[in-house]
Structure formats: C-alpha cells, structure tokens
C-alpha cells in the first residue's frame, strides 16, 4: 500500500473526465483497485458529476431571459469612439449572467418537496418481509416488464459491485418497484415511474430510511434503504446509470 502513487482530488476529477494521459490514467486505475477509500472518493465525485449534469444540464437549452438581452440591445450600434463602452456593456452583461445563473438554476431545477412519488415508493415498500421471485427468472424478462410499466427504454440495474443482488420486482400499473438484498440481507428498493418533466435530486431520511430521489425529464426514481448517506450516493449512481444506460 505504501508504494501506491499519491492521487490528488484534481487528478481524480481529470481521470473521471477522461483527461489524464494514458500512463497516468493506468496508475490511477491501479490505485483505485488497491485503495477502497480512494475508490469510494472517486465514486462520490462521479455521483456528484452525474447529479449536476442531470439537474443543471437542461439550462443549456433554456433561452436567456428577455430582460437580460434587452439590457444589452439597448446599446446603440458601435461607433469607433464608443467601441470600448460597448465592450464594457457586454462585459457587464456577461458578469450578470454568471452571477445570476446559479440562483436561476436553483429556482428552476431545485428539488421540489412534493412528496407524492416519495410517499408512493415508501408505501409500496412498507410491510415487505421477503422479495418475490423475478418476473420470469431472467434479466431480459425484468427489463421487458420494467419498460412496459414505465413506457421508457430502461434496464434493470446491476448493483452487484456494492454487494446487492436482484431478488424481484413488483409492478403497479405505470410504475415498477425493483428489489435487492444487500451483503447483510438488508432490503434496498428502487421505485420507478414516469417523470412530470422536471429535474429533481435530493437525499434525506424518511420513515427511518435513507431515501434518494433522482428525476430527469423522462423518469422519476426513488431509492430507499437502511444505508449510510455515502453508500446511498454510490447506490443511487449505480441505479440511475444502470437504468438509463
């Protein structure tokens, strides 16, 4: 362990982004394979990156507010002597954009606390003592049932990297609940249904469980289990990427 290279957070981010040179990337891969704490930190960074892309990614397609554009367009056509003034005006507009984008993003995309999908997921889980058998005993059958229920091209996530095994699925009309058992036989549930079109991401405690809601413009996913916040972050990333990949 003492011979392992020192990996900075900056290098981990570069590795996740695919920006490291091949030789250094191999060194990071070796360190991740031999250092569970480092691997957990990398998984946490990847979860954050995926979450921010999901929640704030739609901003790139949203037009700038008309009053921002109007403030720039109020400037007259540039004359040679006023070019510097116009350049300054555009710099001010750019600064306003940078200063406003974070609160704008939060206003449009902050996780709303409408508890409907969360409560539906926890109600479905309540009183569950044992997992049912998979729909037809195969991943293909589970994938098909999931797609038909949610009307989206989804896949049953593989959580075996975290020690969780798939043990069944419940269908609720236009929703599906996927059930897993962890290393200590703890129950982890994944409730999926169509989204209302808004982006949401949040993690909190409810009914004595750790809960994560991860929603994009297509699907709403609620994960619940008796796990730590860091474990939920990793499970949420595996679940969401497994569903949509």
Pairing of strands 219-225, 209-215: antiparallel
Predicted pLDDT at 212: 93
Sign of CA dihedral 235, 110, 218, 60: negative
Please give the radius of gyration of the chain, using alpha carbons only, rounded to the nearest integer.
23
- Which residues in the chain come in under a pLDDT of 50? 1, 95, 97-115, 129-130, 133-135
Nearest to 233 by CA among 193, 209, 203, 206: 203
pLDDT of residue 126: 84
Written as six digits, the tokens of 104 are 């704008």
pLDDT in tens, 117-128: 999 999 988 866
> What pLDDT sits at residue 189?
96
Structure tokens at 242: 């497994």
- Which pLDDT value is given to residue 22? 85
Question: Checking phi first, is residue 64 left (phi over 0); if not, alpha (psi -120 to 50) or beta?
Answer: beta
User: What pLDDT was estimated at residue 187?
Assistant: 94
The whole model's pTM is what? 0.56
Q: Tokens for 13?
A: 């981010």
Q: Is residue 58 a contact partner of residue 109, using CB atoms and an 8 Å limit?
A: yes
What pLDDT, on a 0 to 100 scale, did the predictor assign at position 76? Answer: 53
Looking at residue 20, its pLDDT comes to: 84
| Strands in the chain per DSSP E | 165-171, 175-181, 187-194, 200-206, 209-215, 219-225
Between the alpha carbon of residue 61 and those of residues 2, 56, 57, the distances in Å are: 48, 10, 8
Contact 177, 170 (CB under 8 A): yes
For residue 38, what pLDDT is reported? 82
The residues near 71 (Cβ < 8 Å, ≥ 6 apart) are: 93, 96
Residues 6+ positions from 44 with CB-CB distance below 8 Å: 230, 233, 234
For residue 165, which phi and psi values (nearest 5 degrees)? -110, 140
- pLDDT at residue 109 in the model: 40
Alpha-carbon gap, residue 22 to 229, rounded angstroms: 33
Q: What's 5's DSSP letter?
A: P
Q: What is the pLDDT of residue 79?
A: 52
The pLDDT of residue 107 is: 35
List of residues 6+ apart from 162 with CB closer than 8 A: 182, 231, 234, 235, 238
Q: What is the pLDDT of residue 57?
A: 60
Closest C-alpha to 192, from 229, 233, 155, 165: 155
Predicted local distance difference test score (pLDDT) of residue 92: 52
pLDDT tens track for 190-241: 999 999 888 888 889 999 999 999 988 889 999 999 998 888 988 998 899 8
Q: What is residue 80's predicted lDDT score, i.e. its pLDDT?
A: 53
| CA 50 – CA 47 distance, rounded (Å) | 5
């Amino acid at each position: 362990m003492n011979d392992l290279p020192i990996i900075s957070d900056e290098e981990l981010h570069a590795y996740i982004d695919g920006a490291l040179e091949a030789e250094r990337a191999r060194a990071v891969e070796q360190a991740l394979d031999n250092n569970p704490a480092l691997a957990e930190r990398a998984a946490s960074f990847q979860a954050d990156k995926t979450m921010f892309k999901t929640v704030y990614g739609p901003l790139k397609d949203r037009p700038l507010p008309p009053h921002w554009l109007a403030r720039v367009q109020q400037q007259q056509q540039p004359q040679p002597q006023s070019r510097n003034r116009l350049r300054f005006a555009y710099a001010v507009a750019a600064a306003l954009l940078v200063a406003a984008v974070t609160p704008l993003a939060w206003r449009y995309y902050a996780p709303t606390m409408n508890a409907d999908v969360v409560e539906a997921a926890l109600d479905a889980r309540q009183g569950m003592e044992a997992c049912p058998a998979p729909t037809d005993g195969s991943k293909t059958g589970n994938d098909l049932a999931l797609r038909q229920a949610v009307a989206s091209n989804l896949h049953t996530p593989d959580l075996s990297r975290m020690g969780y095994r798939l043990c069944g699925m419940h269908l609720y009309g236009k929703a599906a609940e996927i059930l897993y058992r962890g290393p200590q036989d703890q129950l982890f549930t994944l409730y999926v249904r169509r989204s209302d079109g808004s982006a949401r991401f949040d993690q909190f405690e409810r009914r004595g469980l750790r809960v994560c809601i991860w929603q994009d413009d297509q699907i709403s996913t609620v994960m619940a289990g008796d796990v730590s916040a860091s474990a939920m972050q990793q499970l949420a990333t595996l679940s969401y990427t497994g569903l949509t990949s």
